[in-house]
Structure 1
Amino acid sequence: MKHKGLFFAISIISLWALSLLYLLNYPIDFANPLVYVFVLIQMQLYTGIFITAHDAIHGVVTPDNKRLNNAIGFVCATLFAFNNYHKLSRKHHLHHKNVVTDDDPDYYAGGFFRWYLKFALEYVTFWQILLMAITYNLLKLVYPIENLILFWEIPAILSTLQLFYFGTYLPHRGEHEAHDLHKARSQKLNHVVAFISCYFFGYHHEHHAYPYLPWWKLAEAKEQEELINNKA
């Protein structure tokens, strides 16, 4: 499929939006296990929104149409708690250029929680918080507060933890082999786990080695890396 990246981007955005619209009116019963399943589904879709913005930063959503690529990235970054697409782009390229150094905005030589806090503070701005607050107060005029918290706010927070844990902390923590120029490790080969955990970004060495690959091609890259390593 020629426009596979565009297809995945539109699909993820559409599924996220339709799911949210449905869930904002969903009757909440904490004894109903579907409530918790829906929270996790919405979290996964939020993660897909951010991953799409990330792919746009690398120019691989619509490689032959830079304007459309950046427009999709801007929309996805905005949907993900009003993140600034241009700021994300600038800092993410710094991450690739200076991975696991003092000039890497995503790196911190410390434990999980302090690293996560530093990671969050690197990107969260006053204007972002203000826009979220305004949006929340407008939405609560239309939708139940419980639904907003459960299906709009909590999945977004959980998604940041998912993205940080599988896409930053696990790949870059600790010591790395001297010959590893990318300073990034990958999770074991298991495409089901890799997709559910973070849209294949647990295959993080492959992402740093081939940053021009969209998320849905990282599985193939991991398979190729495994073949090369097994032959070595």
Structure 2
Amino acid sequence: MRYQVESTKGVSIAMLMIICWAGLLTFLLAGYTIRPFSPLTYLFVAIQTHLFTGLFITAHDAMHGVVSRNKKVNKLIGQICATLFVFNSYKRLFPKHHEHHRFVKSEKDPDYYEGNFFMWYFHFMKQYVTVWQIVLAAITFNILTLVVPQLNVILYWVVPSLLSTFQLFYFGTYLPHKGEHAENNVHYSRSQKKNHLWAFLTCYFFGYHYEHHHAPGTPWWQLYKVKEANPTEW
């Protein structure tokens, strides 16, 4: 199954994701007074975490060429979203992600690891985090704290970026690929039961992971349709 990339819709959704992430972050860093006992304080952490995850999902869609028909625009949006996701390298992510699809749950799969949750998460992060990324993040943190409150930077930039890596790993890698799979499960991928609201909130429908491997050319915002067309539970 191959989604026919629309000329503007994918770009519009990607730009909306970037604008929502940047707009809320700007407000939270410069215009929001943190109140420790206010539920809004922590709701904003959750929303910003979800938007960080959305940046990575958008970069992921670009890796599959489904953000824009124009290859240059598609790649540029992927690079922007990967960079905004705390200086991730699109150039580094691209080949590794396609190796994951090509060699899923094998020794050549960079996302797979035979171990418990925390060891697997450490292995997963080691594949993608670089020294330069950490250096750039540290520089950015120190620059931001010169002009906005440090607690705001920690709570709304640092914490959500870290939480989103757990969100992506847990719902998009660990749950789908852990344990044994049925012999006829050619993608070695488990899928969430059909619940589109929960699937969106947890990881932009990537809990429908068998469906993603079955139709990798489908953007995140169309993935629920693949689930509708594939009622089999894995």
> Does 2:204 match 1:204?
no
Aligned to 1:37: 43
What is residue 218 of structure 1 aligned with on the other side?
A: 223
- Please give the secondary structure, in 2, of the residue aligned with 1:70: helix
Corresponding residue number in structure 1 for 2:3: none
1:9 alignment partner, SS class: helix
Task: In structure 2, give the amino acid aligned to 1:207.
Answer: H
Q: Does 1:46 align with 2:66?
A: no
SS, match of residue 140 in structure 1: helix
Matched, 1:106 2:119: no
Q: How does 1:73-84 map to 2 (within 5 A)?
A: 73-84=78-89
In 1: Cα distance, 2:214 partner to 2:103 partner: 14
Deviation readout 1:129-180 (Å, 9 max, x if unpaired): 0000111111111111000000000000000000000000000000111221
Deviation at 1:13, TM superposition (A): 0.2
- How far apart, in 2, do the equivalents of 1:81 and 1:16 lie? 13
- Write out aligned runs for 1:108-147 (5 A): 108-147=113-152
Other structure's SS at 1:13 match: helix
Residue 165 of structure 1 corresponds to: 170
**Distance (Å, rounded) in 1 between the aligned partners of 2:213 and 2:199:** 16
**What amino acid maps onto 2:138 in structure 1?**
A
Q: Residue 47 of structure 2 aligns to which amino acid in structure 1?
A: I
Question: Which fold has the larger relative contact order, with Cα–Cα distance below 8 Å and residues 6 or more apart in sequence?
Answer: 2
**Which residue does the alignment assign to 1:23?**
28
Unaligned regions of 5+ residues in structure 2, if any? Answer: 1-5
> Percent identity among equivalent residues?
56
1:29 shift after superposition: 1.0
Supply the AA of the counterpart residue of 1:216.
W
- Per the TM alignment, residue 2 of structure 1 is displaced from its structure 2 partner at its CA by 4.8
Structure 1 residue runs without a partner (length 5+) = none
> What residue number does 1:59 align with?
65
1:72 and 2:74 correspond? no
In 2, the alpha carbon distance for the partners of 1:7 and 1:136 equals 30
Residues in 2 aligned to 1:77 and 1:35: alpha-carbon distance in whole angstroms: 26
Q: Which residue number corresponds to residue 150 of structure 1?
A: 155
- Report Cα offsets for 1:56-87 as digits up to 9, x if no partner: 0000000x200000000000000001001011
Q: 1:149 to 1:31 in 2, by over 3 A?
A: same
User: What is the alpha-carbon distance in structure 1 between the residues aligned to residue 111 and residue 45 of structure 2?
Assistant: 27
RMSD: 1.0
Instruction: Return the TM-score normalized by structure 2.
Output: 0.95
Point out 4+ residue stretches in structure 1 off by more than 6 angstroms.
none
